[in-house]
Amino acid sequence: MIDHLNWAATAVFIGFFLLVTVLGFVAAHWKRGDLNDLNEWGLGGRRFGAWVSWFLIGGDLYTAYTVIAVPSVLYAVGAYGFFAVPYTIIIYPLLYLTFPRLWAVAHRKNYLTASDYVLGRYGNRWLELAVAFTGILATMPYIALQLVGMERVIEALGFEGRGLMSHLPLTVAFVILALYTYRSGLRAPAMIAFVKDIMIYIFVIAAIVVIPAKLGGYGAIFDAAGAALAKKAALSGSKAAAGLLLTPKQIVPFITLAFGSGLAVLMYPHAMTGMLSARSGNTIRINAVALPAYSVMLALIALMGYMALAVGVHVKNPQDAVPHLILSVFPDWFVGFCFAAIAIGALVPAAIMSIGAANTFTRNIWKPFIHPAMNAQEEAVIAKLMSLIVKVGALAFILFVPTKFALDLQLLGGMWMAQIFPAVIFGLYTRWFNGWALLAGWAAGMVIGTWLAWTPAAWVPVHNVFGSSFAVYNGITAFLANVLVAAVLSALLPNTARDDTRAEDYADLPDAQLAE
Protein backbone atom coordinates (compact mmCIF):
# COMPACT_ATOMS: atom_id res chain seq x y z
CA MET A 1 0.00 0.00 0.00
CA ILE A 2 2.83 2.41 0.82
CA ASP A 3 5.78 0.56 -0.73
CA HIS A 4 6.10 3.12 -3.53
CA LEU A 5 5.16 6.19 -1.49
CA ASN A 6 7.10 9.38 -2.17
CA TRP A 7 7.90 10.08 1.49
CA ALA A 8 9.31 13.59 1.08
CA ALA A 9 6.33 14.76 -0.95
CA THR A 10 3.91 12.98 1.37
CA ALA A 11 5.38 14.64 4.47
CA VAL A 12 4.92 18.11 2.95
CA PHE A 13 1.43 17.15 1.75
CA ILE A 14 0.35 15.97 5.22
CA GLY A 15 1.88 19.04 6.87
CA PHE A 16 -0.22 21.46 4.84
CA PHE A 17 -3.30 19.29 5.21
CA LEU A 18 -2.92 19.41 9.01
CA LEU A 19 -2.53 23.20 8.80
CA VAL A 20 -5.86 23.68 7.04
CA THR A 21 -7.52 21.18 9.39
CA VAL A 22 -6.53 23.34 12.35
CA LEU A 23 -7.73 26.45 10.52
CA GLY A 24 -11.05 24.75 9.79
CA PHE A 25 -11.76 24.24 13.48
CA VAL A 26 -10.33 27.62 14.56
CA ALA A 27 -12.62 29.35 12.04
CA ALA A 28 -15.57 28.79 14.38
CA HIS A 29 -14.18 31.65 16.51
CA TRP A 30 -13.55 34.01 13.57
CA LYS A 31 -16.06 36.86 13.08
CA ARG A 32 -17.96 35.53 16.06
CA GLY A 33 -21.63 34.77 15.66
CA ASP A 34 -24.25 32.32 16.81
CA LEU A 35 -23.54 29.21 14.74
CA ASN A 36 -26.88 27.79 15.82
CA ASP A 37 -28.44 30.33 13.46
CA LEU A 38 -28.53 29.34 9.78
CA ASN A 39 -27.71 32.86 8.64
CA GLU A 40 -24.47 32.71 10.64
CA TRP A 41 -23.56 29.08 9.96
CA GLY A 42 -24.56 28.98 6.30
CA LEU A 43 -23.72 32.54 5.16
CA GLY A 44 -21.14 33.71 7.67
CA GLY A 45 -23.59 36.34 8.93
CA ARG A 46 -23.31 38.10 5.52
CA ARG A 47 -20.27 39.94 6.84
CA PHE A 48 -17.46 39.05 4.46
CA GLY A 49 -15.77 42.11 2.97
CA ALA A 50 -14.17 42.49 -0.46
CA TRP A 51 -10.87 40.85 0.48
CA VAL A 52 -12.37 37.77 2.15
CA SER A 53 -15.02 37.45 -0.57
CA TRP A 54 -12.36 37.55 -3.28
CA PHE A 55 -10.62 34.52 -1.81
CA LEU A 56 -13.88 32.74 -0.93
CA ILE A 57 -15.59 33.19 -4.30
CA GLY A 58 -12.36 32.46 -6.16
CA GLY A 59 -11.87 29.31 -4.10
CA ASP A 60 -15.51 28.45 -4.75
CA LEU A 61 -15.50 28.80 -8.54
CA TYR A 62 -11.94 27.68 -9.33
CA THR A 63 -11.74 24.20 -7.88
CA ALA A 64 -9.28 21.32 -7.66
CA TYR A 65 -11.09 19.69 -10.51
CA THR A 66 -10.42 22.83 -12.54
CA VAL A 67 -6.69 22.32 -12.01
CA ILE A 68 -7.00 18.66 -13.04
CA ALA A 69 -9.77 18.71 -15.68
CA VAL A 70 -9.04 21.76 -17.82
CA PRO A 71 -5.41 20.79 -18.58
CA SER A 72 -6.53 17.18 -19.09
CA VAL A 73 -8.86 18.25 -21.91
CA LEU A 74 -6.04 20.18 -23.59
CA TYR A 75 -3.78 17.18 -23.08
CA ALA A 76 -6.36 14.89 -24.69
CA VAL A 77 -7.93 16.96 -27.49
CA GLY A 78 -6.14 20.31 -27.61
CA ALA A 79 -7.60 23.79 -27.96
CA TYR A 80 -11.21 22.75 -27.31
CA GLY A 81 -10.38 22.68 -23.60
CA PHE A 82 -9.84 26.43 -23.60
CA PHE A 83 -13.63 26.98 -23.52
CA ALA A 84 -13.30 27.23 -19.74
CA VAL A 85 -11.35 30.49 -20.06
CA PRO A 86 -13.89 32.65 -21.96
CA TYR A 87 -16.80 31.40 -19.91
CA THR A 88 -15.12 32.54 -16.71
CA ILE A 89 -14.73 35.95 -18.35
CA ILE A 90 -18.35 36.12 -19.52
CA ILE A 91 -19.70 35.67 -16.00
CA TYR A 92 -18.17 38.81 -14.47
CA PRO A 93 -20.23 41.46 -16.31
CA LEU A 94 -23.28 39.37 -15.40
CA LEU A 95 -22.10 39.24 -11.80
CA TYR A 96 -21.50 43.01 -11.70
CA LEU A 97 -24.92 43.90 -13.11
CA THR A 98 -27.25 41.40 -11.45
CA PHE A 99 -25.98 40.04 -8.17
CA PRO A 100 -25.89 43.33 -6.23
CA ARG A 101 -29.66 43.50 -6.89
CA LEU A 102 -30.11 39.91 -5.72
CA TRP A 103 -27.96 40.58 -2.65
CA ALA A 104 -30.02 43.67 -1.74
CA VAL A 105 -33.40 41.95 -1.89
CA ALA A 106 -32.02 38.85 -0.15
CA HIS A 107 -30.61 40.98 2.68
CA ARG A 108 -33.86 42.90 3.18
CA LYS A 109 -36.07 39.80 3.04
CA ASN A 110 -33.67 37.38 4.79
CA TYR A 111 -33.42 35.13 1.76
CA LEU A 112 -30.62 32.58 2.13
CA THR A 113 -30.97 30.77 -1.20
CA ALA A 114 -32.02 31.38 -4.79
CA SER A 115 -35.17 29.36 -4.10
CA ASP A 116 -36.08 31.70 -1.22
CA TYR A 117 -35.94 34.59 -3.65
CA VAL A 118 -37.94 32.76 -6.35
CA LEU A 119 -40.71 31.98 -3.85
CA GLY A 120 -40.84 35.57 -2.65
CA ARG A 121 -40.87 36.97 -6.19
CA TYR A 122 -43.35 34.62 -7.85
CA GLY A 123 -45.31 33.15 -4.93
CA ASN A 124 -45.06 29.65 -6.42
CA ARG A 125 -43.89 26.86 -4.11
CA TRP A 126 -43.48 24.38 -6.98
CA LEU A 127 -41.16 26.73 -8.82
CA GLU A 128 -39.25 27.11 -5.53
CA LEU A 129 -39.02 23.31 -5.31
CA ALA A 130 -37.87 23.02 -8.94
CA VAL A 131 -35.04 25.51 -8.40
CA ALA A 132 -34.00 23.77 -5.16
CA PHE A 133 -34.15 20.28 -6.68
CA THR A 134 -32.08 21.36 -9.70
CA GLY A 135 -29.40 22.91 -7.51
CA ILE A 136 -28.99 19.86 -5.28
CA LEU A 137 -29.13 17.44 -8.23
CA ALA A 138 -26.35 19.28 -10.07
CA THR A 139 -24.22 19.81 -6.94
CA MET A 140 -23.83 16.19 -5.86
CA PRO A 141 -21.67 15.02 -8.80
CA TYR A 142 -19.78 18.33 -8.63
CA ILE A 143 -18.70 17.51 -5.06
CA ALA A 144 -17.78 14.00 -6.20
CA LEU A 145 -15.51 15.48 -8.86
CA GLN A 146 -13.63 17.45 -6.22
CA LEU A 147 -12.84 14.05 -4.73
CA VAL A 148 -11.65 12.86 -8.12
CA GLY A 149 -9.15 15.74 -8.21
CA MET A 150 -7.95 14.94 -4.71
CA GLU A 151 -7.69 11.23 -5.46
CA ARG A 152 -5.54 11.86 -8.53
CA VAL A 153 -2.82 13.57 -6.47
CA ILE A 154 -3.03 11.02 -3.63
CA GLU A 155 -2.42 8.24 -6.15
CA ALA A 156 0.43 10.22 -7.70
CA LEU A 157 2.10 10.35 -4.28
CA GLY A 158 2.48 6.57 -4.61
CA PHE A 159 -0.35 5.40 -2.36
CA GLU A 160 -1.65 2.05 -3.60
CA GLY A 161 -4.53 -0.12 -2.50
CA ARG A 162 -7.18 -2.51 -3.67
CA GLY A 163 -10.93 -2.22 -3.47
CA LEU A 164 -12.23 0.15 -0.82
CA MET A 165 -8.77 0.39 0.77
CA SER A 166 -7.60 2.37 -2.25
CA HIS A 167 -9.94 5.17 -1.09
CA LEU A 168 -8.75 5.19 2.56
CA PRO A 169 -6.77 8.49 2.47
CA LEU A 170 -9.61 10.18 0.61
CA THR A 171 -12.13 8.94 3.16
CA VAL A 172 -10.03 10.21 6.08
CA ALA A 173 -9.65 13.61 4.40
CA PHE A 174 -13.38 13.91 3.82
CA VAL A 175 -14.28 12.87 7.36
CA ILE A 176 -12.06 15.68 8.64
CA LEU A 177 -13.68 18.09 6.17
CA ALA A 178 -17.14 17.02 7.30
CA LEU A 179 -16.29 17.61 10.96
CA TYR A 180 -14.89 21.12 10.67
CA THR A 181 -17.59 22.18 8.21
CA TYR A 182 -20.23 20.93 10.64
CA ARG A 183 -18.61 22.92 13.43
CA SER A 184 -17.60 26.15 11.68
CA GLY A 185 -19.96 26.44 8.72
CA LEU A 186 -19.00 28.83 5.92
CA ARG A 187 -16.29 30.42 8.04
CA ALA A 188 -14.12 27.30 7.60
CA PRO A 189 -13.80 27.38 3.79
CA ALA A 190 -13.56 31.18 3.89
CA MET A 191 -10.49 31.01 6.15
CA ILE A 192 -8.92 28.04 4.34
CA ALA A 193 -9.44 29.78 0.98
CA PHE A 194 -6.63 32.21 1.89
CA VAL A 195 -4.16 29.34 2.18
CA LYS A 196 -5.52 27.48 -0.84
CA ASP A 197 -5.38 30.41 -3.24
CA ILE A 198 -1.91 31.56 -2.19
CA MET A 199 -0.61 28.01 -2.64
CA ILE A 200 -2.26 27.64 -6.05
CA TYR A 201 -0.76 30.94 -7.23
CA ILE A 202 2.73 29.88 -6.07
CA PHE A 203 2.34 26.53 -7.82
CA VAL A 204 1.10 28.08 -11.08
CA ILE A 205 3.75 30.82 -11.16
CA ALA A 206 6.47 28.22 -10.56
CA ALA A 207 5.09 26.04 -13.35
CA ILE A 208 4.88 28.80 -15.97
CA VAL A 209 8.43 29.93 -15.20
CA VAL A 210 10.31 26.69 -14.51
CA ILE A 211 8.79 24.38 -17.13
CA PRO A 212 9.26 26.69 -20.15
CA ALA A 213 12.82 27.42 -18.96
CA LYS A 214 13.58 23.67 -18.98
CA LEU A 215 11.92 23.05 -22.34
CA GLY A 216 13.33 25.99 -24.28
CA GLY A 217 10.46 28.44 -24.04
CA TYR A 218 6.80 28.52 -24.97
CA GLY A 219 7.56 28.23 -28.70
CA ALA A 220 9.14 24.85 -28.09
CA ILE A 221 6.18 23.81 -25.89
CA PHE A 222 3.61 24.68 -28.56
CA ASP A 223 5.64 22.97 -31.28
CA ALA A 224 5.98 19.77 -29.25
CA ALA A 225 2.34 19.82 -28.14
CA GLY A 226 1.17 20.43 -31.71
CA ALA A 227 3.17 17.46 -32.96
CA ALA A 228 1.83 15.22 -30.18
CA LEU A 229 -1.79 16.25 -30.87
CA ALA A 230 -1.34 15.74 -34.60
CA LYS A 231 -0.07 12.23 -33.87
CA LYS A 232 -3.14 11.55 -31.69
CA ALA A 233 -5.41 12.80 -34.48
CA ALA A 234 -3.66 10.55 -37.00
CA LEU A 235 -3.97 7.51 -34.73
CA SER A 236 -7.66 8.19 -34.16
CA GLY A 237 -8.27 8.51 -37.89
CA SER A 238 -9.92 11.92 -37.51
CA LYS A 239 -8.21 15.22 -38.30
CA ALA A 240 -10.72 17.00 -36.04
CA ALA A 241 -10.04 14.78 -33.04
CA ALA A 242 -7.24 16.84 -31.55
CA GLY A 243 -5.33 19.97 -32.46
CA LEU A 244 -3.37 22.92 -31.20
CA LEU A 245 -6.04 25.23 -32.66
CA LEU A 246 -9.80 24.87 -33.08
CA THR A 247 -11.01 23.22 -36.26
CA PRO A 248 -13.91 24.88 -38.14
CA LYS A 249 -16.39 22.29 -36.82
CA GLN A 250 -15.35 23.03 -33.24
CA ILE A 251 -15.96 26.79 -33.36
CA VAL A 252 -19.75 26.83 -32.82
CA PRO A 253 -19.66 24.12 -30.11
CA PHE A 254 -16.82 26.03 -28.43
CA ILE A 255 -18.75 29.34 -28.44
CA THR A 256 -22.05 27.85 -27.26
CA LEU A 257 -20.35 25.71 -24.61
CA ALA A 258 -18.56 28.77 -23.23
CA PHE A 259 -21.69 30.94 -23.26
CA GLY A 260 -23.96 28.24 -21.83
CA SER A 261 -21.50 27.41 -19.07
CA GLY A 262 -21.41 31.12 -18.22
CA LEU A 263 -25.21 31.13 -17.79
CA ALA A 264 -25.01 28.13 -15.49
CA VAL A 265 -22.04 28.60 -13.18
CA LEU A 266 -23.43 31.44 -11.03
CA MET A 267 -26.72 29.59 -10.56
CA TYR A 268 -25.18 26.75 -8.52
CA PRO A 269 -26.09 26.82 -4.80
CA HIS A 270 -22.44 27.17 -3.80
CA ALA A 271 -22.00 30.21 -6.05
CA MET A 272 -25.13 31.77 -4.55
CA THR A 273 -23.81 31.03 -1.06
CA GLY A 274 -20.52 32.75 -1.82
CA MET A 275 -22.25 35.84 -3.23
CA LEU A 276 -24.90 36.21 -0.54
CA SER A 277 -22.26 35.97 2.21
CA ALA A 278 -20.78 39.29 1.03
CA ARG A 279 -21.07 42.38 3.22
CA SER A 280 -22.80 44.53 0.59
CA GLY A 281 -23.75 44.80 -3.05
CA ASN A 282 -20.71 46.97 -3.60
CA THR A 283 -18.51 44.15 -2.28
CA ILE A 284 -19.88 42.00 -5.11
CA ARG A 285 -19.13 44.73 -7.67
CA ILE A 286 -15.54 45.03 -6.43
CA ASN A 287 -15.16 41.28 -6.79
CA ALA A 288 -16.63 41.32 -10.29
CA VAL A 289 -13.80 43.66 -11.23
CA ALA A 290 -11.06 41.79 -9.31
CA LEU A 291 -12.00 38.14 -9.89
CA PRO A 292 -10.85 38.04 -13.56
CA ALA A 293 -7.35 37.65 -12.10
CA TYR A 294 -8.42 34.04 -11.53
CA SER A 295 -9.27 33.74 -15.24
CA VAL A 296 -5.70 34.71 -16.08
CA MET A 297 -4.52 32.00 -13.71
CA LEU A 298 -6.94 29.53 -15.30
CA ALA A 299 -5.49 30.18 -18.75
CA LEU A 300 -2.02 29.47 -17.38
CA ILE A 301 -3.29 26.30 -15.67
CA ALA A 302 -4.81 25.17 -18.98
CA LEU A 303 -1.42 25.47 -20.66
CA MET A 304 -0.16 22.72 -18.38
CA GLY A 305 -1.96 20.29 -20.67
CA TYR A 306 0.33 21.36 -23.50
CA MET A 307 3.32 21.31 -21.13
CA ALA A 308 2.55 17.69 -20.24
CA LEU A 309 2.54 16.80 -23.93
CA ALA A 310 5.81 18.66 -24.47
CA VAL A 311 7.49 16.94 -21.51
CA GLY A 312 6.42 13.58 -22.89
CA VAL A 313 3.94 12.55 -20.17
CA HIS A 314 2.14 9.35 -21.19
CA VAL A 315 -0.90 8.36 -19.09
CA LYS A 316 -3.97 6.28 -19.86
CA ASN A 317 -6.24 8.68 -17.98
CA PRO A 318 -5.81 12.33 -19.09
CA GLN A 319 -6.72 13.40 -15.55
CA ASP A 320 -3.31 12.11 -14.45
CA ALA A 321 -1.48 14.46 -16.82
CA VAL A 322 -0.93 17.37 -14.41
CA PRO A 323 0.19 15.24 -11.42
CA HIS A 324 2.69 13.39 -13.62
CA LEU A 325 3.88 16.67 -15.13
CA ILE A 326 4.60 17.97 -11.63
CA LEU A 327 6.40 14.73 -10.70
CA SER A 328 8.59 14.91 -13.79
CA VAL A 329 9.69 18.53 -13.33
CA PHE A 330 9.87 19.53 -9.66
CA PRO A 331 11.83 18.25 -6.63
CA ASP A 332 9.95 16.00 -4.24
CA TRP A 333 9.36 18.63 -1.55
CA PHE A 334 7.76 21.00 -4.06
CA VAL A 335 5.74 18.13 -5.51
CA GLY A 336 4.24 17.71 -2.04
CA PHE A 337 3.48 21.44 -1.92
CA CYS A 338 1.78 21.40 -5.35
CA PHE A 339 -0.25 18.29 -4.55
CA ALA A 340 -1.31 19.81 -1.23
CA ALA A 341 -2.46 22.96 -3.09
CA ILE A 342 -4.61 20.84 -5.40
CA ALA A 343 -6.03 18.76 -2.54
CA ILE A 344 -6.84 21.85 -0.46
CA GLY A 345 -8.33 23.26 -3.65
CA ALA A 346 -10.82 20.39 -3.42
CA LEU A 347 -11.67 20.97 0.24
CA VAL A 348 -12.73 24.62 -0.11
CA PRO A 349 -15.32 24.22 -2.89
CA ALA A 350 -16.51 20.86 -1.54
CA ALA A 351 -17.25 22.53 1.80
CA ILE A 352 -19.08 25.45 0.18
CA MET A 353 -21.00 23.11 -2.12
CA SER A 354 -22.18 20.98 0.78
CA ILE A 355 -23.20 24.10 2.73
CA GLY A 356 -25.05 25.55 -0.27
CA ALA A 357 -26.89 22.26 -0.85
CA ALA A 358 -27.69 21.99 2.88
CA ASN A 359 -29.06 25.54 3.02
CA THR A 360 -31.22 24.84 -0.03
CA PHE A 361 -32.55 21.52 1.27
CA THR A 362 -33.36 22.98 4.68
CA ARG A 363 -35.03 26.19 3.56
CA ASN A 364 -36.76 25.05 0.38
CA ILE A 365 -37.55 21.35 0.78
CA TRP A 366 -37.60 20.34 4.44
CA LYS A 367 -39.15 23.48 5.90
CA PRO A 368 -41.97 24.18 3.39
CA PHE A 369 -42.93 20.57 2.65
CA ILE A 370 -42.10 18.63 5.83
CA HIS A 371 -41.80 20.91 8.88
CA PRO A 372 -43.21 24.41 8.19
CA ALA A 373 -43.17 25.38 11.88
CA MET A 374 -39.43 24.86 12.42
CA ASN A 375 -37.56 27.68 14.15
CA ALA A 376 -34.16 29.20 13.35
CA GLN A 377 -32.24 26.82 15.61
CA GLU A 378 -33.95 23.78 14.08
CA GLU A 379 -33.05 25.11 10.63
CA ALA A 380 -29.38 25.20 11.61
CA VAL A 381 -29.50 21.66 13.01
CA ILE A 382 -31.09 20.24 9.85
CA ALA A 383 -28.63 22.13 7.62
CA LYS A 384 -25.62 20.84 9.57
CA LEU A 385 -26.89 17.26 9.35
CA MET A 386 -27.67 17.66 5.67
CA SER A 387 -24.15 18.97 4.99
CA LEU A 388 -22.84 15.66 6.41
CA ILE A 389 -25.27 13.60 4.34
CA VAL A 390 -24.29 15.42 1.15
CA LYS A 391 -20.60 14.70 1.77
CA VAL A 392 -21.30 11.05 2.54
CA GLY A 393 -23.34 10.80 -0.65
CA ALA A 394 -20.54 12.32 -2.72
CA LEU A 395 -18.00 9.96 -1.13
CA ALA A 396 -20.26 6.97 -1.80
CA PHE A 397 -20.47 8.11 -5.42
CA ILE A 398 -16.69 7.82 -5.71
CA LEU A 399 -16.51 4.53 -3.80
CA PHE A 400 -19.19 2.63 -5.69
CA VAL A 401 -19.82 4.37 -9.03
CA PRO A 402 -17.30 4.52 -11.92
CA THR A 403 -15.71 7.95 -12.18
CA LYS A 404 -16.92 8.48 -15.72
CA PHE A 405 -20.52 8.65 -14.47
CA ALA A 406 -19.63 11.48 -12.09
CA LEU A 407 -18.07 13.32 -15.03
CA ASP A 408 -21.07 12.58 -17.24
CA LEU A 409 -23.45 13.95 -14.60
CA GLN A 410 -21.30 17.04 -14.09
CA LEU A 411 -21.55 17.77 -17.82
CA LEU A 412 -25.31 17.49 -17.43
CA GLY A 413 -25.18 19.68 -14.33
CA GLY A 414 -24.26 22.82 -16.25
CA MET A 415 -27.16 22.26 -18.63
CA TRP A 416 -29.55 21.73 -15.74
CA MET A 417 -28.41 24.83 -13.85
CA ALA A 418 -28.88 27.04 -16.93
CA GLN A 419 -32.60 26.21 -16.74
CA ILE A 420 -33.11 28.19 -13.52
CA PHE A 421 -31.47 31.30 -15.02
CA PRO A 422 -34.77 32.79 -16.30
CA ALA A 423 -36.54 32.45 -12.95
CA VAL A 424 -33.66 33.98 -10.98
CA ILE A 425 -32.12 36.60 -13.26
CA PHE A 426 -35.12 37.75 -15.32
CA GLY A 427 -37.04 38.24 -12.08
CA LEU A 428 -34.52 40.81 -10.87
CA TYR A 429 -35.70 43.20 -13.59
CA THR A 430 -39.29 42.30 -14.44
CA ARG A 431 -42.37 40.72 -12.87
CA TRP A 432 -43.91 40.07 -16.30
CA PHE A 433 -43.08 36.34 -16.27
CA ASN A 434 -45.68 34.09 -14.66
CA GLY A 435 -44.46 31.60 -12.05
CA TRP A 436 -46.33 28.68 -13.61
CA ALA A 437 -44.99 29.64 -17.05
CA LEU A 438 -41.43 29.68 -15.70
CA LEU A 439 -42.04 26.25 -14.16
CA ALA A 440 -43.27 24.92 -17.51
CA GLY A 441 -40.23 26.46 -19.23
CA TRP A 442 -37.93 24.85 -16.66
CA ALA A 443 -39.54 21.45 -17.25
CA ALA A 444 -39.26 21.82 -21.02
CA GLY A 445 -35.59 22.81 -20.77
CA MET A 446 -34.75 19.96 -18.40
CA VAL A 447 -36.45 17.33 -20.58
CA ILE A 448 -35.07 18.59 -23.90
CA GLY A 449 -31.53 19.09 -22.58
CA THR A 450 -31.40 15.69 -20.90
CA TRP A 451 -32.85 13.98 -23.97
CA LEU A 452 -30.28 15.62 -26.26
CA ALA A 453 -27.44 14.60 -23.93
CA TRP A 454 -28.46 10.96 -23.73
CA THR A 455 -26.59 8.25 -25.63
CA PRO A 456 -26.30 4.55 -24.65
CA ALA A 457 -22.58 4.92 -23.88
CA ALA A 458 -22.27 8.35 -22.23
CA TRP A 459 -23.85 11.78 -21.83
CA VAL A 460 -22.73 14.16 -24.57
CA PRO A 461 -22.58 17.96 -24.05
CA VAL A 462 -23.25 19.05 -27.67
CA HIS A 463 -25.71 17.96 -30.32
CA ASN A 464 -26.53 18.76 -33.94
CA VAL A 465 -29.86 20.55 -33.81
CA PHE A 466 -32.51 20.28 -36.57
CA GLY A 467 -30.09 18.42 -38.84
CA SER A 468 -27.57 21.30 -38.92
CA SER A 469 -23.95 20.70 -39.91
CA PHE A 470 -22.66 22.14 -36.64
CA ALA A 471 -23.19 21.12 -33.02
CA VAL A 472 -24.59 23.34 -30.27
CA TYR A 473 -24.21 22.96 -26.51
CA ASN A 474 -27.29 21.22 -25.14
CA GLY A 475 -27.58 23.82 -22.40
CA ILE A 476 -28.12 26.60 -24.95
CA THR A 477 -30.71 24.61 -26.93
CA ALA A 478 -32.59 23.75 -23.74
CA PHE A 479 -32.30 27.33 -22.44
CA LEU A 480 -33.83 28.79 -25.62
CA ALA A 481 -36.71 26.29 -25.45
CA ASN A 482 -37.15 27.18 -21.78
CA VAL A 483 -37.39 30.92 -22.46
CA LEU A 484 -39.73 30.42 -25.42
CA VAL A 485 -42.17 28.30 -23.41
CA ALA A 486 -42.02 30.68 -20.43
CA ALA A 487 -42.59 33.75 -22.63
CA VAL A 488 -45.53 32.29 -24.56
CA LEU A 489 -47.30 31.00 -21.45
CA SER A 490 -46.62 34.24 -19.54
CA ALA A 491 -48.38 36.15 -22.32
CA LEU A 492 -51.40 33.84 -22.01
CA LEU A 493 -51.68 33.38 -18.24
CA PRO A 494 -52.79 36.10 -15.81
CA ASN A 495 -50.10 37.05 -13.31
CA THR A 496 -52.10 37.11 -10.08
CA ALA A 497 -49.64 35.50 -7.64
CA ARG A 498 -48.42 37.57 -4.71
CA ASP A 499 -45.01 39.25 -5.01
CA ASP A 500 -43.42 39.81 -1.59
CA THR A 501 -40.81 42.17 -3.01
CA ARG A 502 -41.04 45.84 -4.02
CA ALA A 503 -38.99 47.89 -6.46
CA GLU A 504 -37.04 49.60 -3.67
CA ASP A 505 -35.98 46.21 -2.25
CA TYR A 506 -33.57 45.79 -5.17
CA ALA A 507 -31.70 49.05 -4.59
CA ASP A 508 -28.40 49.23 -2.67
CA LEU A 509 -28.79 49.54 1.08
CA PRO A 510 -27.64 52.80 2.69
CA ASP A 511 -24.44 52.63 4.72
CA ALA A 512 -26.39 53.12 7.95
CA GLN A 513 -28.41 49.97 7.29
CA LEU A 514 -25.32 47.99 6.34
CA ALA A 515 -23.73 48.89 9.66
CA GLU A 516 -26.65 47.49 11.65
Rounded Cα distance between 204 and 64, Å, is 13
Per-residue confidence (pLDDT) for residue 394, from 0 to 100: 82
Is 207:335 a contact under the CB 8 Å cutoff?
no
Provide the H-helix boundaries in 279-320: 281-290, 292-311
Is residue 401's pLDDT more than 90?
no
Query: Model confidence over 245-261: pLDDT tens digits?
Result: 888 888 899 999 999 99
Q: How many Å is the maximal CA-CA distance in the chain?
A: 70
Looking from the CA of 140 toward its CB, the CA atoms found within 13 Å total 21
pLDDT score of 512: 43
For the chain, domains (ranges, CATH) are 7-514 (1.20.1730.10)
Number of Cβ within 10 Å of residue 19's Cβ equals 14
Give residue 351's identity as a one-letter amino acid code: A
CA 259 to chain centre: 16
Nearest residue to 470 via CA among 241, 251, 233: 251
Beta strands in 238-365 (DSSP E): none
| Structure confidence at residue 165 (pLDDT) | 64
What does the pLDDT look like over 189-227, one tens digit per residue? 888 988 888 999 999 999 999 999 999 999 999 999 999
Residue 217 amino acid letter: G
* Buried/exposed code over 120-144 (b: 16+ C-beta within 10 A; e: otherwise): bbbbbeebbbbbbbbbbbbbbbbbb
| Residue 96 clears pLDDT 60, i.e. is over it | yes
Element (H, E) at 370: none
Residues 59 and 191 sit within 8 Å (Cβ to Cβ): no
| Selection from 248, 221, 362 nearest residue 304 by Cα | 221
**Residue 414 · residue 265 · CB < 8 Å:** yes
Q: What's the pLDDT tens digit per position in 292-314?
A: 988 888 999 999 999 999 999 99
pTM of the shown model: 0.91
- From the list 43, 452, 104, 107, the residue with the least C-alpha distance to 282 is 104
* Contacts with 229 (C-beta within 8 Å, 6 or more apart), sequence order: 77, 78, 242, 243, 244, 309
